[in-house]
Amino acid sequence: LLVTSLKGLFGGSALLILASLIGIRFYIPLQSLPYVLTVGAFSIGFSIVLFLFALREIGAMKTGAIFSTSSLIGALFAFLILGESFTAIKAFFGVLVFIGVYLLSLE
């Protein structure tokens, strides 16, 4: 967990520096900073803790398969909430992901 925390700290810092060097400007009001850090710590931090726990409990293959559904779930929320397009190809590959996760769960 320490290595993951350090990786996030240094990776995030490097991305902030790189963004400022290439001219990407962003502004976070100082009073919003605690909220931004709290959301980041709980969303990213909690997902990493759960991922590491899953690696230990169910193994790398099953964890990787289940973790890969996160982009599919994100796409589903983008369709439902943001009105993104939903195409037959997205549906096809979404079904393939779920079939793969199901097959791995049979093991």
- The count of domains in the chain is 1
Structural domain range at position 68: 31-105
The SS3 call for residue 82 is helix
Average pLDDT, the chain: 86
Cα(72)–Cα(4) distance, integer angstroms: 24
Condensed to tens digits (0 to 9), the pLDDT of residues 79-93 reads 999 999 988 998 998
Instruction: Tell me if 56 is assigned to some domain.
Output: yes
Q: Which two tokens stand for residue 37?
A: 């850090």
Question: Could you give the C-alpha distances from 21 to 11, 15, 17, 24, 84, in angstroms and in order?
Answer: 15, 10, 6, 8, 32
Instruction: Tell me if 61 is assigned to some domain.
Output: yes
Reported as type and span, the H/E element at residue 20 is: helix 2-21
Q: What is the share, in percent, of the chain residues with pLDDT greater than 90?
A: 15
